[in-house]
Amino acid sequence: MSTEKTLVLVKPDGVSRGLVGEVISRIEAKGYSIDALRMLHADRELLEQHYAEHVGKVFYEPLVEFMMSGPIVAIVASGNRVIEGFRALAGVTDPTVAAPGTIRGDLARDQGTKVVQNIVHGSDSTESAAREIKIFFPN
C-alpha cells in the first residue's frame, strides 16, 4: 500500500497572519506526516498552472492577484486518506459557513474581497495532488 500524498498551501493571508505553525500543528496533530515544505513567492505562471481549472471564472484574476500578494508555504503531507482528511481539517471554501473546529471555520471570515481569503489550499483528488505536487516540488 503506497501512502497517499496531498499538496497543502498556506495562502498569503495565513502567512501574513502568522498561522503557518497553526496549520502545520493541525496536520501533525491529526496524525499526518509533513514530507516536504517550502516557502515561496508564487508568480503568475506557476499560479496559472496550479489554478488551471478556474481560468475564466469571475474570481480567477482576483485569486491569482491575491496568491501573488505575499509569500506562501507549500507543504506535502502524507498518510492514509490524507486528501479527504486535510479537506475535512480545512473546512468548506466559504469561511463564513465553514464549521467551527476547522482551519477556515476557526481562523477566517469573509472580508468582503472579490476572492475569498481562506488560509489554506488542499488538493481535491489523487490526480490533482500528483499534478499540484509536481508544480510546487519539481524535484
Single residue of 7, 73, 116, 119 touching ligand IDP by CB under 6 A: 116
Helix (H, G, I), strand (E, B) or coil at 58: coil
> Which three cell numbers mark 131?
499534478
> Which three cell numbers mark 25?
500543528
Amino acid at 32: Y
Single residue of 115, 128, 135, 137 touching ligand IDP by CB under 6 A: 115
Which residue matches cell numbers 508568480? 43
Work out whether 121 is an interface residue with ligand IDP (CB under 6 A).
Answer: yes
Q: Least distance from C-beta 130 to ligand IDP, angstroms?
A: 16
Please state, in angstroms and rounded to a whole number, the distance separating the CA atoms of residues 55 and 63.
Answer: 10
Work out whether 84 is an interface residue with ligand IDP (CB under 6 A).
Answer: no
- Residue 121 annotated to the active site: yes
Ranges within 56-75 binding ligand IDP (CB under 6 A): 59, 63
Amino acid at 28: E
Given the rule CB under 6 A, which residues bind ligand IDP?
59, 63, 93, 115-116, 118, 121, 124
